[in-house]
Structure 1
Amino acid sequence: MTNDVIIVGAGPVGLFLACELALAGVQPVVLDRLPERSGEQKANGLVGQVLRLLDHRGLHQPLSGLPGAPQPVPRFVFGAFPLELHRLDANPLHAVPVPQHRIEEVLEERALELGVTVRRGCEVSGFTQDATGVTVDFHGPDGTGQARARYLVGADGGRSTVRKLAGIDFPGVTSPDPVSRIAHVRLPEGLRTTASGEVLLPGCPTPFRPYTHTRTDHGVFVISPFNEDAVMIATMEWGGLPVDQRAPLTLDELRASIRRVTGADLELTPARTAGPFTPRRTVGHNTRLAERYRDGRVLLVGDAAHVHAATGGPGLNLGLQDAANLAWKLAAELQGWAPPGLLDSYHRERHPIGERVFMHSQAQIALMAPGAGTTALRALVGELLSHEDNLARIAALMAGSDVRYDTDCPHPWAGGFAPELALTTAEGDLRLAELARGGRALLLDLTGGALGLADRAAGWKDRVDVVTAECAEPPAGALLLRPDGYVAWASGVGEADPTGLERTLRTWFGTPRA
């Protein structure tokens, strides 16, 4: 039996890719080497544009526990600079604190609801590809086996077996600094806070703002008091003594690091709340980007395609949007309606976004390092961030809302992620995100049908939904959304002729059916 797609890796990116493919009418098989979901504490939340994408799929509420649309956060951090985002008239940055094990749980539940097969305990050992598909060798619970698929996707992390077997180069930068230590702990009772909520550590004159990075003369300190039974503490240090990476991080080691970075001697005890709060040490930073995201019938997504410092939490924003970009294009190829070059546009669109995260993650590490030169540079960057236009630019960088895919449409919304709109439709009042739940392309007519868009798009009705709606302050006369939420085409308000619509439909959705 030949499957449509085999996805290697059942982390958040692999599971989300499986969900997106299933929505598009493709039934993938997911292989993962672990016998069950990992409880290891990795990502602590979701940051950026990805929350709006997840809202388009109805996943924002189960992940955040909050109803309605994602809301921007009033503050964030960039290179240990506090970003006072509440100063912005249009704040693009969203964030939700949710542990990775919960993200994986929600996505696996959704994948299984959609009929996705997840096979655990299956470790890929090799593959061969030919003109019609890929044959994958693996070791499973019942011994060695093979599986066949038309395409293979590596979502198997930074040490990706799929990437290595495909011979795809992974160039980048590796540094022994900084050494990062993180754990969820209980702190001693009686720690004082300032009127503004900053934490005062004993013996340290510097107050520390929670949930952000604070640079000292000797490193970086982070305190995130999610609750009194599980406070997340993290440090970063440069130029220290060699570390035995084989030895697990102990609370005594973390306590000594806190003392060196802040000057405070802080008694730590294990977190009392049940959960995966294993202390973790990371030595140095590894920033790498695959030279190509596709090799024939083999593709890469997420950390298999790029690794970088975790500062600012860009990883899942980048990886999950890789998955959304790839899924509909791969489904189009499998279903036979993809226009020429559509699948290759996955690398063309996403590789530059990986390069951008490559750049800003290294810049943030450099801005946190100790030294007089860095201190002088920070004084200059601090001045720049006091201006709202620069603050807005950094906020958009961290959110990924500055992404603009190439399009020949001159409308300002074209190429960017769809705006949040409140609409009145024949089915009642809906948000635009609620119209995108099915993962299909959407042609949104905000002219009340005056342009006859349904007739113009009739040849693509098997691939594109047409919805007529009213909007109090429409940003356009009509919007054509790709399945990944990005605007492929838009017309101006009051525009009499939807110039370029048919050309754009052909570009992204192939030849119309008679």
Structure 2
Amino acid sequence: MSIDLGQDVAVTVVGAGPVGLVLAAELALSGAAVQVLERRAEPDEAMKAQSINLPTAEALDRRGLLSAAEAVQREVVERVGSFGRVDGDRSRTAPRFTGHFAGMVLDADLVDWSDPDLAAHTVADGARMVPQRELEALLAEYVARLGVPVLRGVEVTALEDTGDGVLVGTTAGTVRTGWLVGCDGGHSAVRRLAGIDFPGTDPEITGYQAVADFADPEKLAEGWTWSPEGVYRYGPQPGRVTTVEFDDPPADRSAPVTLEEVQDSLRRVSGVDVTLTALRATPTRWTDNTRQAATYRSGRVLLAGDAAHVHPPFGGQGLNLGVGDATNLGWKLGAVLAGWAPEGLLDTYEAERRPVGAWVLDWTRAQIGVLRGDPKSAALRGLVADLLGTRDGTTYAVKQISGAAQRVDLPGDHPLIGRFAPDLWLGDGTRLAEHARGGGFVLLDRTADGAFARLAAAWAGRVTSVPDDEATPAGILVRPDGVVAWASDTADATGLEAALHRWSGAPSFETMG
């Protein structure tokens, strides 16, 4: 079967996982001609992340995909078993998703849900339990509606940055593209061919994740269980099992995982002669290999997702970190291609995303240290368990895991600046996020005379002004990635014009004062 590679496309994205698909969608919304190349002939069916965090769920919301994600969660909850609760005054049944730290499950009843960072983000509660496979399918449908070609069975074998574009050699022929973005995983061919170093810490452990049928499931304890040989978790999904062994990394991580391999690991860790009869999903093998690319950009070649950073998979942080990369990079690269990007805008991609990536790497490294079965780690685990057994400790951990505490370091004194935009309901019954479907900037204007909107009119086509009744905040400017670039509690527009220039470039036209 011949594959029709697009020639002279503006951007070629390598990798059709969630990160590559989100990036392609954001670029398409900006008007860029984009194509996606994927070496796999079919979508990856392996078990990976089982949930998404608040920034990822809200990214789906901004693009009109929240209801589809909520439908996925309802199906997952049905499979796992109902643990929903009524969400306060909005009377919505949704799980209070907390997660775990190093196998220590965070008690939802200890969380201070009135904490401002958590209380500001509740709309997406019903779309958090979205496994990676289902998310990928949802996004594949979305990019198809946007007209983005996803070419499967195409492997990248060479690249040459010519200064004004990139020549990409593939198993289906050579393609010329303006920009090349590697979203092709931890073993990224794009990163390797671009000569970008990948420093970090070497793997020391082996983990497995599988969903299986058992002849004797009653032999296993539910939840996380420690033993001298390692750690295992059984549940919450029927048949789902995770094991962690602290001996050595696997000899060949890329080899297919067999039923016998998972069974042997589970027997060693649990000390129980349990028997697996079948695998009901493609199992995965993982390690604590933890690395971050020396740079996220080399000329016209960029990296996002696991191509830029890898770490242990606790809490699905890698998926969410990668989607954050994609939403941040997508509109910025789109602005460069559209010709209106202010100077240095593309440089802010790595400047903003590298610190978040470094934090996630350390967050997962810390969990490996606490998980270990040696006496020192056990003592540390006891201390951390005590901290997580407090209201402040649990609330802190949930805020970190959920992404509610994420902040970009941006100029301005208002507490919302640099945060992801909170849930904001408007007087006409809509939410602010619903006005972000087109992928541009959104300016909320609650001044009595529309002063903010008049100022932003010069950026028509890039900024959508949304009028509303007077309230607090009086106005906020939200970037396409959901980050608040400017905010004011009064009708004072100080700083708004500077923020528009900083992020939206030069005005499209001059307005009369």
TM-score (norm 2): 0.87
Q: Of the candidates 403, 408, 418, which is equivalent to residue 406 of structure 2?
A: 403
Of 263-272 and 368-377, deviating more is 263-272
Of 379-388 and 146-155, deviating more is 379-388
Q: Of the candidates 180, 190, 204, which is equivalent to residue 207 of structure 2?
A: 180
- Counterpart code for 2:189: T
Q: Is the 8 A contact 2:210 2:283 kept in 1?
A: yes
Task: Indicate the percent of aligned positions where both proteins have the same amino acid.
Answer: 42
Q: Is the 8 A contact 1:60 1:70 kept in 2?
A: no
**Aligned partner of residue 52 in structure 1, secondary structure:** helix
**Taking structure 1 as reference, are residues 367 and 110 closer, same or farther at Cα in structure 2, changes over 3 Å only?**
same
**Aligned partner of residue 439 in structure 2, secondary structure:** coil
> Which residue does the alignment assign to 2:153?
121
**Aligned partner of residue 312 in structure 1, secondary structure:** helix
> Which residue does the alignment assign to 2:498?
503
Aligned: 1:237 with 2:245: yes
**Cα deviation, residue 126, structure 1:** 1.2
What is the rounded CA distance, in whole Å, between the counterparts of 1:469 and 1:41 in structure 2? 44
Aligned: 1:254 with 2:237: no
Q: Is the 8 A contact 1:459 1:512 kept in 2?
A: yes
Aligned: 1:459 with 2:458: yes
**Taking structure 1 as reference, are residues 505 and 39 closer, same or farther at Cα in structure 2, changes over 3 Å only?**
same
What is the rounded CA distance, in whole Å, between the counterparts of 1:246 and 1:478 in structure 2? 51
What is the rounded CA distance, in whole Å, between the counterparts of 2:361 and 2:93 in structure 1? 26
Q: Of the candidates 283, 289, 313, which is equivalent to residue 279 of structure 1?
A: 283
**Taking structure 1 as reference, are residues 465 and 208 closer, same or farther at Cα in structure 2, changes over 3 Å only?**
same
- Counterpart code for 1:79: A
Q: Could you list the per-position Cα deviations for residues 374-431 of structure 1 after superposition, in whole angstroms to 9, with x for gaps in the alignment?
A: 1111122122223322322222221222221122211111100000122223xxx112
**Cα deviation, residue 271, structure 1:** 4.7
**Taking structure 1 as reference, are residues 271 and 241 closer, same or farther at Cα in structure 2, changes over 3 Å only?**
closer
**Aligned partner of residue 360 in structure 1, secondary structure:** helix
> Which residue does the alignment assign to 1:195?
none
> Which residue does the alignment assign to 2:373?
370
**Cα deviation, residue 166, structure 1:** 1.2
Q: Is the 8 A contact 2:8 2:177 kept in 1?
A: yes
What is the rounded CA distance, in whole Å, between the counterparts of 1:249 and 1:80 in structure 2? 23
**Aligned partner of residue 414 in structure 2, secondary structure:** coil
* Mapping for residues 277-316 of structure 1, pairs under 5 Å: 277-282=281-286, 284-316=287-319
What is the rounded CA distance, in whole Å, between the counterparts of 1:401 and 1:278 in structure 2? 32
Aligned: 1:147 with 2:155: no
> Which residue does the alignment assign to 1:158?
186
**Taking structure 1 as reference, are residues 316 and 74 closer, same or farther at Cα in structure 2, changes over 3 Å only?**
closer
TM-score (norm 1): 0.87
What is the rounded CA distance, in whole Å, between the counterparts of 2:237 and 2:377 in structure 1? 31
> Which residue does the alignment assign to 2:30?
24
Q: Is the 8 A contact 1:183 1:233 kept in 2?
A: yes
Q: Is the 8 A contact 2:99 2:401 kept in 1?
A: no
What is the rounded CA distance, in whole Å, between the counterparts of 2:35 and 2:256 in structure 1? 35
* Mapping for residues 93-492 of structure 1, pairs under 5 Å: 96-140=128-172, 145-177=173-205, 179-188=206-215, 201-202=218-219, 207-209=221-223, 213-227=224-238, 231-239=239-247, 248-271=256-279, 277-282=281-286, 284-425=287-428, 429-447=429-447, 449-470=448-469, 474-492=471-489
Aligned: 1:513 with 2:508: yes
Aligned pairs, how many? 477
Q: Is the 8 A contact 1:80 1:215 kept in 2?
A: no
- Counterpart code for 1:116: V
> Which residue does the alignment assign to 2:105?
82
Q: Is the 8 A contact 1:220 1:368 kept in 2?
A: yes
Q: Could you list the per-position Cα deviations for residues 1-39 of structure 1 after superposition, in whole angstroms to 9, with x for gaps in the alignment?
A: 521111111111111111111111112011112223233
**Cα deviation, residue 245, structure 1:** 5.4
> Which residue does the alignment assign to 2:3?
none
What is the rounded CA distance, in whole Å, between the counterparts of 2:254 and 2:25 in structure 1? 36
**Taking structure 1 as reference, are residues 395 and 225 closer, same or farther at Cα in structure 2, changes over 3 Å only?**
closer
> Where in structure 1 are there 5+ consecutive unaligned residues?
192-200
**Cα deviation, residue 247, structure 1:** 6.2
**Cα deviation, residue 248, structure 1:** 4.5
**Taking structure 1 as reference, are residues 254 and 117 closer, same or farther at Cα in structure 2, changes over 3 Å only?**
closer
Aligned: 1:14 with 2:41: no
**Aligned partner of residue 158 in structure 2, secondary structure:** strand
What is the rounded CA distance, in whole Å, between the counterparts of 1:241 and 1:339 in structure 2? 46
TM-align CA RMSD: 2.4
**Taking structure 1 as reference, are residues 465 and 71 closer, same or farther at Cα in structure 2, changes over 3 Å only?**
farther
> Where in structure 2 are there 5+ consecutive unaligned residues?
1-6, 75-89
- Counterpart code for 1:84: D
**Taking structure 1 as reference, are residues 440 and 245 closer, same or farther at Cα in structure 2, changes over 3 Å only?**
closer
Higher helix share: 2
**Aligned partner of residue 490 in structure 1, secondary structure:** strand
